[in-house]
Amino acid sequence: MRMNFQMITLVLAIIFIIAGCQNSTNSEPNKQQTDETSSGDANVENNEADWLSHNPPSLDDVPEGPEGEAILYGYNLVNETNVYASEYVGNQLSCTSCHAG
């Protein structure tokens, strides 16, 4: 009985290893999917990089109340890290000094 369990475990392990090592034949994004994604936004020009573009909402669209306060705090935290998290920052850099913001 123990030998059967070990054999089944070994066979399953080999199957998973083989399945994980196979190369994908489709390395490019689905063209139809990217066309559908970019065609839904009238403000985006039609070019091949449209599916990569991201237009974040404006700060003018931030809602009132606790959710809006949290959004603005997060925005200020990553843009003025030395002010909002001064005990963790030893210089005048902010998160957006290194990371896209």
Query: Domain containing 99: what range?
Result: 61-101
Instruction: Give pLDDT, residue 40.
Output: 53
Per the domain annotation, does 70 fall within a domain? yes
Per the domain annotation, does 78 fall within a domain? yes
Could you give the number of structural domains in the chain?
Answer: 1
Whole-angstrom CA distances from 23 to 16, 18, 20, 27, 31 are 14, 10, 8, 9, 20
Q: How far apart are CA 74 and CA 59, in angstroms?
A: 12
The pTM (predicted TM-score) of the whole model is 0.45
Instruction: Give pLDDT, residue 44.
Output: 47
Per the domain annotation, does 72 fall within a domain? yes
Instruction: Give pLDDT, residue 45.
Output: 54
Mean of per-residue pLDDT scores for the chain: 77
- pLDDT of residue 37 exceeding 60: no
Query: What's the rounded mean pLDDT across residues 26-47?
Result: 55
User: Which of residues 2 and 42 earns the better pLDDT score?
Assistant: 2
Per the domain annotation, does 75 fall within a domain? yes
